[in-house]
Amino acid sequence: MRTERLTFNKIYTMTKKFFLAAAFVLNAATLMAGGDVTKEKFTPFFDHEQAPHLENVLPTPPSLTDPLFSHDWAQYRWGISIRDTERGQVAVKDAGINAGYFLKRYSPAVERELTPEEYPELYRLFARLHLTEQQAGYSAKKFFARVRPYQQFKEQSGVPKHENPQDFTSYPSGHTHASWLVGLALASIDPAHTETIMKTAYELGQSRVIVGFHYQSDVDMGRLAASITFARLMSEPEFQKQYEKARKEFTKKK
């Protein structure tokens, strides 16, 4: 009986240790998965009802018969002319913006490698700014309902897989709005690189002209829209909180 009892106790102890170890490994794996900032779900800093209604600020986009449209046309043709160049290839990549891409794209501007692993708070800031831009640009895009250049002229864009014949949301440019908004936030975090940061933000906007998804006036007003959105964000406690986390993270790693 004693021998059997000892054997049972040993088996019980070994089994207990096994399950404890398994639970530890599972918990560690869960923590690691939960630590991947790219898997997190984000919300904008405000919704489109709280956002500034940009259609009350921005001018009406130029029509085809407006003398101002000549510049839009000239820039559209310029974009087409350089699509087969290295700059054109960059423009195609710039079409796929998200928080991770912003980190990569702005890295040369701040002279350091920005990754989600090393800069999770900055990633969170960029992700939420991108979502906020969508809320801020919603009413203006719906109000103006401008056709995109490739739709207007029935020509293939530089990013065919993104084309949608029913997507009449060219004005103002959302990509530019988001890129300029991120640039403004990053420049205020790293003022020493303001020029290179905003140069990158400018190039991101021009990429939309190159691929034929936006007129130049769409892009120009996207930058103005971003400035308005950024000013509005300064009064948002949630933005201030996340901005400060990103600023401290960036400064600490300098």
Catalytic residue set = 175, 208, 214, 218
Neighbours of 77 (CB within 10 A): 12
Nearest to 239 by CA among 137, 129, 106: 129
Nearest to 53 by CA among 245, 232, 244, 202: 232
Q: CA 140 to CA 231: how far, in whole Å? A: 17
Residues 6+ apart with CB under 8 A from 174: 133, 134, 137, 141, 222
Nearest to 35 by CA among 104, 116, 113, 97: 116
Neighbours of 235 (CB within 10 A): 9
Q: What SS3 state is found at 182?
A: helix
